[in-house]
A and B are shown apart, each in its own frame.
Chain A
Amino acid sequence: MSGTTIDHVARATPPKVARRIKGLSDRAIAWIFVAPTIFLLLAINIFPLLWTIYLSFTNYRANRPNAEVSWIGTRNYERILGDADIWLTMQATAHFLFWTLVLQVLIGFTLAWLINQKFKGNDLWTTIIVLPMMLSPAVVGNFWTFLYQPQIGLFNYVVAFLTGADPTSFSMIGDVSLAPWAIVIVDTWMWTPFVMLICLAGLRSIPDSIYEAAECDRASKWRQFWTITVPMVLPFLMLAVLFRGIENFKMFDLVVQLTGGGPGNTTTLTSIDLKREAFEKWRTGYSSAYAIILFVTVFGLASIYVKALNKVKER
């Protein structure tokens, strides 16, 4: 008698079950294995999505479950898309998304390139650099509020040291023009290591032989960088942008902890606004329409992005 895992499983199967399975085709057995996953996907992803689409056409309020729900057509969508406050929220999100992606890609790639140069202690530096992304966003938001304090905050004193300005003359999270940059700085500080790690994986996957061949052809370091390093790291970089883009589009915890969406509505990102509509004002139908607008936007962007990524990988 053999002692492989399959034999153990076969012996452990009760005869009654074994008799039933014996008559099934491979296809049927495959369906039995896949069915629980499909069922969970339908229950957790597809059904809530369809239900949200339905609710977006109604005036349903979750805090009034017994109230009559009436079909109001596209009125929720019309109200959202005509609301100047939501327009400002979208602009705040765009500002946050654009600058965090630009800074994280530039700094992340530079750090990865530096770490990839073989020097003593680069493992230690990698560990130190990735520390911020291991912290909880709530903790990061909390301690950056202290760093941004005009009276005692270290950030203000560093800026004052570099520029000669009075440290108490500006407040990063209290000033309307500085607050959007305050959240960009914190997100960049926290998530640049993630982009760096992905870029580092890309850089380390480039075989040395390609650079050696380029050296033989007398290609300069600059040319090697643009014709070997950048094209070969590009798919990794695009993946990092995709992950960070989707994450930052739904950024919530860090910003709530840091600024609470203020001052005024200058740092109210769409996810914060959506949460207020859904769970503070309890306008469930309205917020469902809001969520569908965001979903279609992210889905559309992700579709063209994945297509671009596949094209880069094919090259």
Chain B
Amino acid sequence: MSKFFNELFRLRRGAWEMVASILIALGVFMLMQPFALWAFSSAFFVTLTGTVMFIIVSHFPEGE
């Protein structure tokens, strides 16, 4: 866990890609879930944030 946060602080690709992936997956789930309309309404924002973040962080240097 500490390695993960260490990579986050040092702007390493692995950890940040993980964060972006979680955001994308969460956004897609929110878009298609049948439970709450408010989650559907904010799903696109979450997915877009994750996708843009993924594109940016995939250019970060690789961790050890």
Taking Cβ atoms with an 8 Å cutoff, the residues of A that contact B are 77, 81-82, 84, 87, 90-91, 93-94, 293, 296-297, 299-301, 303-304, 307
A-B CB contact pairs (8 Å), 25 listed: A81-B40, A81-B41, A81-B42, A81-B44, A82-B37, A90-B31, A90-B32, A91-B32, A91-B33, A91-B34, A94-B32, A296-B44, A296-B47, A296-B51, A297-B27, A297-B31, A297-B47, A300-B24, A300-B47, A300-B51, A301-B24, A303-B24, A303-B54, A304-B21, A307-B17
Instruction: Report how many residues on chain B are interfacial, defined by Cβ distance under 8 Å.
Output: 23
Q: Is the CB of A296 within 8 A of B48?
A: yes
Give A84 to B28 CA distance when docked, in angstroms: 17
Give A127 to B37 CA distance when docked, in angstroms: 47
Q: Is the CB of B50 within 8 A of A300?
A: yes
Q: Which residue of chain A lies nearest to B43 when distances are taken between CB atoms in the complex?
A: A81
Contact residues in A for B44 (Cβ distance below 8 Å): 77, 81, 293, 296-297
Question: What number of A-B contacts does a CB cutoff of 8 Å give?
Answer: 52
**Known contacts being A297-B28, A300-B27, A301-B24, is A90 close to B40, with CB within 8 Å?**
yes
If over half of A's interface residues share one DSSP class (helix, strand or loop), that class is named, otherwise mixed; here it is helix
Other A-B pairs beyond A81-B40, A297-B28, A297-B31, 6, CB < 8 Å: A87-B40, A91-B34, A300-B51, A301-B24, A304-B24, A307-B21
Give A91 to B48 CA distance when docked, in angstroms: 19
Which of B27, B37, B50 meets A84, CB within 8 Å? B37
Contact residues in A for B20 (Cβ distance below 8 Å): 304
Contact residues in A for B25 (Cβ distance below 8 Å): 304
Give A293 to B30 CA distance when docked, in angstroms: 13
Q: Is the CB of A301 within 8 A of B28?
A: yes
Q: Which residue of chain B lies nearest to A97 when distances are taken between CB atoms in the complex?
A: B32
